[in-house]
Amino acid sequence: MKILLAGGGSGGHFYPLIAIVQKLNSEIESRKLVEAKYYYMGDSPYDEKTLFEYNIEYRHTSAGKIRNYISFKNFFDLFRTISGILSALWQMFRIYPDVVVGKGGYSSFPALVAARILGIPVVIHESDSIPGRVNLFAGKFAKRIGVAYEGAAAYFPKDRTALVGVPIRRELENVTIVGAREYLKLEPNVPVILIVGGSQGAGSINDVVLDILPNLLDKYQIIHQAGNQNVSEIKVRLPVILINSPHKERYKLFGFLGPSALSMAAGASTLVITRAGSTFLFEIASWGLPSIVIPIPKDVSRDQYNNAFDYARSGAGVLLEQVNLTPHVLMSEIERIMDSAEIRQQLSTHAKSFAKPEAARKMAKGILDIVLTHEQ
């Protein structure tokens, strides 16, 4: 069987596809089926190491963005998209997969159009509370549609749509507690706060955290994923920021935390401060950790803004809009949560209720059902 994956160029699109592949392999092994051959089609491989690890063959197609404002880039990107569709058609015709699994994002558009033209079955997954353009387009002909938020289901045909949550890689389904503090060189009895501004970091969150860092380190240990592009600048600033702090060693700075390190960081932490990427929100929910969620402003990312409101509305996290993100407000929210076991317990309970741990398995089962029908 041949399965082609298509997703946009972000971790939120890429890693749920890997989670689905993990569950597909488990289902195939348990059913004693012939091993699947996987392909990933997009404008970049995103994570070549992971593609190699799961024996997923990368196929390049160009793709252009559609911007909401007037720009010459829209004109040139139109030709990039047309070129990508033609390339996807040719490559997909040669592969002729049994199913195409789309995760949304502009990069997946050429593959989905090619699948539609060639009559290849399509399965899509939507991670955000309000679907993006590409998935709205693909939803018109997709055989099955998985959504993460109940509100997103209203945008798709009811008979082909299921609320499943976000597929989470098996390495991150649960936190790693044993050995976590030793691995991260953390003090044994000082509470830990994990700060993650998305896979690329978040400059505005980094700046506010650094403003209050000496005060934070008086009471807590900080694991900070700041983004690879931000680490050098932060390291330059740290000697001045922490010049009078007796607890410099309590600050652990990372550009990016891989799955194992992130699982350990979560296992050692009491509170998470995060952006509102849907994939990471569902990972936090599966861990049952209290969180402060700071979405990208609505005029920049409607997706994150709505994800954050849905998550906070469920009681799983505390919403802090970026317009209100000041050193004083962030410090107050951190202390309010960290000083109250009752608040932390409430947030943890609601987070666990929000989590949907079977998302990857449900998506894999639906995909396999279509593959087996298509092969027949």
pLDDT in tens, 50-68: 999 999 999 999 986 765 5
Residue 303's pLDDT is 80
CATH 3.40.50.2000 domain position(s) in the chain: 2-168+357-375, 172-354
Residue 68's pLDDT is 59
Confidence of residue 143 (pLDDT cuts 50, 70, 90): very high
Q: At 230, which amino acid appears?
A: N
Class of domain 172-354: alpha beta
Q: Do β-strands 2-6 and 99-102 pair in parallel, antiparallel, or remain unpaired?
A: parallel
Residue 375's pLDDT is 63
Q: Please name which of 273, 351, 271, 338 lies closest in space to residue 311, comparing C-alpha atoms.
A: 351
Q: What is the pTM of this model?
A: 0.92
Residue 198 has pLDDT above 70, yes or no: no
190-199, 202-211, 360-369: range with highest mean pLDDT: 360-369
Burial class (CB in 10 A: 0-12, 13-18, 19+), 99: buried
C-alpha 173, offset from chain centre:
13
Range in 14-23, 78-87, 185-194 the model is least confident about: 78-87
Residue 127 has pLDDT above 90, yes or no: yes
Confidence of residue 201 (pLDDT cuts 50, 70, 90): low
Q: Please name which of 371, 192, 323 lies closest in space to residue 266, comparing C-alpha atoms.
A: 192
Can you name the CATH fold of 2-168+357-375?
Rossmann fold (3.40.50)
- Decide: 186 and 252 in contact? Cβ < 8 Å: yes
Residue 211: CA count within 13 A, CB half-sphere: 13
